[in-house]
Amino acid sequence: DSGVTQTPKHLITATGQRVTLRCSPRSGDLSVYWYQQSLDQGLQFLIQYYNGEERAKGNILERFSAQQFPDLHSELNLSSLELGDSALYFCASSVGSGSGQETQYFGPGTRLLVL
Amino acid sequence: GQNIDQPTEMTATEGAIVQINCTYQTSGFNGLFWYQQHAGEAPTFLSYNVLDGLEEKGRFSSFLSRSKGYSYLLLKELQMKDSASYLCAVGRDSNYQLIWGAGTKLIIKP
């Protein structure tokens, strides 16, 4: 158990819909990262927040947005869902601002299926 | 550009030793991570190297050569539970995000 929690574990929805994924980092961690992993694919970095502020952006679609709240939990919002958005979505956290030296600890993921 | 190369798949025998290689080309270097990921599960941290040399941790060891842009993960006394994907990731000093390799799927046969 990494200490990172994600809800829900599974999500089934229809094309065109909007969903929200939630992540709570490890106690004391200030950075939250979001990743997408499609079937048999590598990890795709989406976005990082540090202490409530956006720190780094990866290949995140405009239909996707995220935020980190004062209690440091984070939410990833996916809208106008398409079949290709079906994937595992992981949240990870690290202790500081993520200088490239910090270990990231991953949550169990949310498996999203868009029908 | 930024690039990390790992073999796509490797097969080894239970009880044997296997070496998984990772080569990288990145602008700036702040350390290299290895993670293990079982199918459908979260990646779990295995090791971090920032200086050249070998780091040993039980059955797993990780090696780094910064001048060659090269790392390997060495797994000894292989067990069936070691069947997983192994991900190599590089941290850069100019950016906060890690650059991830596509992963090496390791299949252990009895």
Digit-by-digit pLDDT tens for chain B (110 residues) are 678 999 999 999 999 999 999 999 988 888 999 999 999 999 999 999 999 999 999 999 999 999 999 999 999 999 999 999 999 999 887 666 888 999 999 999 99
A26 interfacial to chain B (CB closer than 8 Å): no
Residue A17's pLDDT is 97
Residue B47: closest C-alpha in chain A? A103
How high is the pLDDT of residue A59? 85
Contact B30 A99 (CB under 8 A): yes
Specify whether the backbone of B61 is left (phi greater than 0), alpha (psi in -120 to 50) or beta: beta
Using DSSP, how many helices (H) and how many strands (E) does chain B show?
0, 11
A34 vs B: CB within 8 A: no
Q: What region, left, alpha or beta, does residue A16 occupy, with left being phi > 0 and alpha being psi -120 to 50 degrees?
A: left
What average pLDDT does chain A have?
94
Name which of A38-42, A74-78, B8-12, B47-51 the model is least confident about.
A38-42
Q: Does B87 touch chain A (CB under 8 A)?
A: yes
Residues A29-39 have a mean pLDDT of 95
Poorest-confidence range of A18-27, A55-64, A93-102?
A93-102
| pLDDT of A72 | 96
Higher pLDDT, A101 or B80: B80
Mutate to test the interface with B, among A29, A41, A45 (most CBs of B within 10 A): A45
Please answer whether residues B69 and B24 qualify as being in contact, where contact means their C-beta atoms are separated by less than 8 angstroms.
Answer: yes
pLDDT at B1: 66
**Amino acid B95: pLDDT:** 67
Residue B38 CB neighbour total at 10 angstroms: 13
Put simply, the answer to whether A33 touches B97 (Cβ < 8 Å) is yes
User: How far away is chain A from the Cα of B19, in angstroms, using its nearest Cα?
Assistant: 20
Please give the pLDDT value at position B46. 97
Do B85 and B41 form a contact (C-beta atoms < 8 A)? no
* Residue B89 near residue B98, CB atoms below 8 Å: yes
Question: What's the angle, vertex CA A107, arms to CA A99 and CA A92, rounded to 5?
Answer: 15
